[in-house]
Amino acid sequence: MAFSLDIISQLLIRVAGFIVIFVISFVIGRVAGKLVERLLNELELNKIAKKMVGKRDLEAIIGLFIRYILYITGLVIALRYLGLGAAIYQFIITIIILLIAMFLLLQLFDV
């Protein structure tokens, strides 16, 4: 009986650690994305880029990109902490990266 309680307590600690790591990375990603957007806004990137790529909000697109990269990094770290095998989290991360790439391309080309 003590053995099963030990396993359950270790699992709960790992799940709690996963949640804490993921939430912290989510907050950091959100703050960093907004900071990048503000920095690019101060540099007037949209005014400069309007001549090259047309009417696109590059500040927001780059901010989203930074935000999602940090989300993915946090997810990888959290999954490693949880102890999942490399194949599982690589599959999940690949799907997430593909979804983000599709989103960014749709934003860039305004489809």
- When pLDDT is averaged across residues 74-95 and rounded to a whole number, the result is 78
Please name the residues in contact with 19: beta carbons below 8 A apart, sequence gap of 6 or more.
Answer: 78
The band of 29, judged by pLDDT with boundaries at 50, 70 and 90, is very high
Decide if pLDDT at 88 tops 60: yes
Of 53, 61, 75, residue with least CA distance to 33:
61
Joined together, the tokens standing for residue 72 give 């993915």
Q: Write down the H helix ranges in 1-111.
A: 2-42, 45-53, 58-82, 86-109
Q: Write down the H helix ranges in 43-57.
A: 45-53
Decide if pLDDT at 31 tops 90: yes
The band of 23, judged by pLDDT with boundaries at 50, 70 and 90, is very high
The band of 93, judged by pLDDT with boundaries at 50, 70 and 90, is confident
Count the residues in the chain: 111
